[in-house]
Amino acid sequence: MTGSAARHRVVIIGAGFGGLEAVLRLKGAPVDITLIDRRNHHLFQPLLYQVATASLAPSEIAWPVRHLVRRRPEVRTILGEVTGIDVAGRAVQLGDERVPYDTLLVATGARHAYFGHDDWEPFAPGLKDIDDATAIRRRILTAFERAETEPDPAARRALLTFVIVGAGPTGVEIAGTIAELAHHTMAEDFRALDPKEARILLVEAGPRVLAAFPEDLSDYAQKALERLGAEIRTGQAVTACDAEGVALGAERIPAKTVIWAAGVQASPAAIWLGAESDRAGRVMVAPDLTLPGHPEIFVVGDTARLDAWQGKPLPGIAPAAKQQGRHVADTIRARLAGKPDPGPFRYKHAGSLATIGKRAAVIDFGWIKLRGWLAWWIWGIAHIYFLIGLRNRLTVALSWLWIYTTGQRSARLITGRGREE
């Protein structure tokens, strides 16, 4: 790392949307930045489900962090696991190594939450990183392969039953894509098996799918899923989950593939900071995104709790995290220039989007609501726009165009080894 010891030291934990946006926004500022992450890549998480369902390859939605900051000599990148934060001593702990800071930004994201049933995780993996996505892809594709040679009808039905728990955007998108994968993409690939026998079951404890969307868009999404062949169960919560399937109250559903999309739990940042947190583990931050009593510490993204969206918590989506990262960077710049802080963070909601298969989506811009194929094209253009680099934009656009016109998905590779084997 270049620069003198007199330069302001900014440490950023997490190379997600919030952390990386702060790095980009601080370009040219009189700071030395240390960017810490336990993975070497930045992930475009909104498209992670497309890796899990064999639509895209991991390399199309992830980029090496070192490559992204290669022309920023003031940025030092550390691949490591944070074990604690010394708030009084202003240092981040990486095992035996201490990384001192003048300003700290915590943007460590979240993992899936099982609402007190963490023992379900081995049987119902969530989707938060590339490892999760490739493991789920392996489970889905392996289920079809095993069903091809399974002589017992009951065992075959369990192999071909896919249960998705949680009907938010991720759950809806996964259910729609698995339905298309089974009913269209692989319809002619097997000899002893008809993939159309697959049962895709989307389970939601609440009263409807896409609860954050207006009710008419929620109804449209459910009908679109049902047209694709998915089965929707609302108002029912999973009460048990194991290697043989799930239970919905007294009903037992044999299923070899269960995917969890029902909730998130923040990283241990609140524990590291000794800070107050909500039930999801998110740090309760001040209106300017700082830790109360510590103006030198900022917390953003899924790690932070701030009721600044129509009196509700900020949504856990990429645009919100990016806006918070920009606000933190602008605050740091103002402080170093001796100017007043920008003040409280103000969130600008650009809209809510969710896709259902390859030809339908729903969009809520507030002032206008869209559904169907037009919404799908707008959804696709918006996601391509936010990808990093021309190459990734082109490859994803071409992959989607190929899927749209042919129905085929080229990333159907079974790699690695897991419990399902």
Residues that are catalytic: 173
Report in angstroms the alpha-carbon separations of 416 from 10, 129, 252.
Answer: 38, 16, 30
CA distance 175 to 355: 10
First-to-last alpha carbon distance for the chain, in angstroms, is: 45
CA pair distance 17, 323, nearest whole angstrom = 9
CA atoms within 13 A on the CB side of 316: 21
Q: Counting beta carbons within 10 angstroms of the beta carbon of residue 402, is it exposed (0 to 12), middle (13 to 18) or buried (19 or more)?
A: middle
Q: Which of 379, 294, 281, 272 is nearest to 36 (CA)?
A: 272
- Angstrom CA distances, 40 to 15, 63, 93, 101, 318, stand at 9, 8, 18, 21, 19
Tokens of 43: 């992930």
Angle between helices 373-386 and 390-406 (to 10 degrees): 160
HSE value, Cβ hemisphere, 13 Å, CA-based, for 110: 27
**DSSP string for residues in 299-322:** E-GGGEE---BTTBPPPSSHHHHH
